[in-house]
Each structure stands twice: as structure tokens, then as C-alpha cells.
Amino acid sequence: MWIYGKGVRYIIPIHSQCTKPLIYACLAYENIKITTHSHPEAFPSVLQQKRKTQTKIHESGEARMIVTEQCPNCGYHEAYSEEKQMRSADEGTTILYTMSAAQKVQQHPAFQQATNKANYYVNQLDKELSKYPVLQTLEQRTQVPKTYAVIGSVFLLGILLLINSFAAPVSNLVGWALPAYLSFKAIESPGVQDDVQWLTYWVVFGFFNFLESFALRAVLYYFPWYFAFKTVFVLWLQLPAFRGAQTTYHTVLKPVLANVSSRSPAVYQPPTTASADGLRERVNTATTD
């Protein structure tokens, strides 16, 4: 806390423990915590150094001085600061600086711990994104790290979702863009496992949109942030880490469709021994002809 009084020559700091003013703050020259940028060779430490030699203070606002003083009332050491220009006793005139408020926050242990955690998760995300060649190509062409591009895109989509006028197209874009690209890759690949994965996704996604078309207005009336929920649900369906489409298909759709298929003779198909690779070859032959 600081006091500004009429006729007061200096800003008087107030002690945080006993709330007494540190009257002799300007006369205490020991344990001065300083940082110099103009003459870094003048001190053993370039960044910070506790100096115990007397230093003359000039009336100027060009530098900051942090002094640690013992309170005469409670004995507690209090650190305060003033904007001053100081003259070193043995190094001549120099401008001395201390850490700014932003630098103090950056050197706080909690901030450093949070920064280390964030860097760890960013590195893990970068490893996962490196599995996709399209993101590697995009990073090389734009010179923007793919991790930052993906995080920025997620934040942009989140902002657009908060604006209800863009919520529906953004939600549908999330549900279509990446699955469409990965479905294209699955069709062109020789394996069948990814074909089953994305065919299952499109069945579940189409069924969800079919249900949505009946009750969308009523849902939006009672639940205005429905599209934000839909976007999260669609991501759960399509992301390989969750494979929600397979879970939804086997627990919800498959029992219903199997029941309908067993009761309807029109959709009955005789068993076949043709393999998926054989069917793929027939489709390729038919399309090339």
C-alpha cells in the first residue's frame, strides 16, 4: 500500500503486517536488490545482486529500486520499491533496473510449473499431429507450427459456436470435414479395418442428424447451446482415441437394426462367401470398365 500526502517528498510504503508506515524508507541503503542493463560488468551477477554499499539516490523516475527493510514495530522484513536513479559508489553513474511486474510473474514457481505443464502437453499434441501428413505439409507451406494452428482453429471454432448464428454450420463442418478426408484415405487404402470404422461413423452420424431434424426447434428452445453439445458429441464419435461411433453402433443401433432385419423378409440377404477384398476388386473392375 502506498500513501500520497501533501508535502510528502517521497512515496511512503505501508507495512503489510502491522500497517505502520516505513518512515525511514528512503534512508535505508542496505540489501538493495538491483539489476543493471547499462553496465552489466559492474556487478558479479548480470541479472540481480544484493549490494551492501551505500548508494546515493537522485530524484528521478528512470529506474526502480527494491529495498528490504526491517520494521521497527513488528520486526518483520518488508520489501518495497521506488522509481529512482541511483549512483554507484565505486562504478560511477549508472541506471539500475529491477524486474518488471511481468518478469516477477514469470519467475513465480506456480507460473513456471504451469508453463512446464503446458509445454509438456503441447509436445505430446505435436507428436500426435505428426502422424498426419496433411498437417506436416501445411506446416511446411505456412511456416506455422501445426500445434499452434490446430489450437488456434479449436479456439476459433469455439468462438463461432458461442455465436449462435454460426453454430449450426460449424457443428456440421466438424462432423463432416475430417471424417470425409479420412474416409477418402480409407477407400484408397488396401485394408478393410478403416473402412469398417468410417462406415460405422457415417451410419451413426446420419442417424443422429435424422433424429435432429424432427426435434431441432424444440431442443433449441429449451437448450440454446445444443450445437456446442453436438460438436463435442461428434468429436467423441470420430476421434480414434474414443471411437464413440463403434460404441454407439454396437450398443444402440445394431440391436435395433438386427431386430428390424430379422422381422423383414424384404431385406433378407442370403449368406455369401465373397471376401471384402474380392468385392473391392469387383468394384474396381466395374468402375474402370
Least Cα distance to 36 among 103, 107, 105, 88 occurs for 88
**107-132 per-position pLDDT tens digit:** 778 888 888 888 888 888 888 888 88
CB 86 within 8 A of CB 59: no
Residue 288: band (very low, low, confident or very high) from pLDDT cuts 50, 70, 90: low
151, part of any domain: no
Domain boundary among 39, 64, 96: 96
Q: Domain of 68?
A: 2-96
Q: Going by C-beta distance under 8 Å and a sequence separation of 6 or more, which residues neighbour residue 34?
A: 43, 48, 49, 51, 65, 66, 86, 96, 97, 98
84, part of any domain: yes
Based on the domain organization, do 91 and 176 belong to the same domain?
Answer: no
Q: How many domains does the chain have?
A: 2
251, part of any domain: yes
38, part of any domain: yes
Host H or E run for residue 271: none
187, part of any domain: yes
- Res 40: pLDDT: 41
154, part of any domain: no
**204-238 per-position pLDDT tens digit:** 999 998 988 888 888 888 888 888 888 889 989 98
272, part of any domain: no
- Res 204: pLDDT: 92
For residue 267, pLDDT beyond 70 = no
**153-203 per-position pLDDT tens digit:** 888 877 777 776 778 888 888 899 888 988 888 888 887 888 888 999 999
276, part of any domain: no
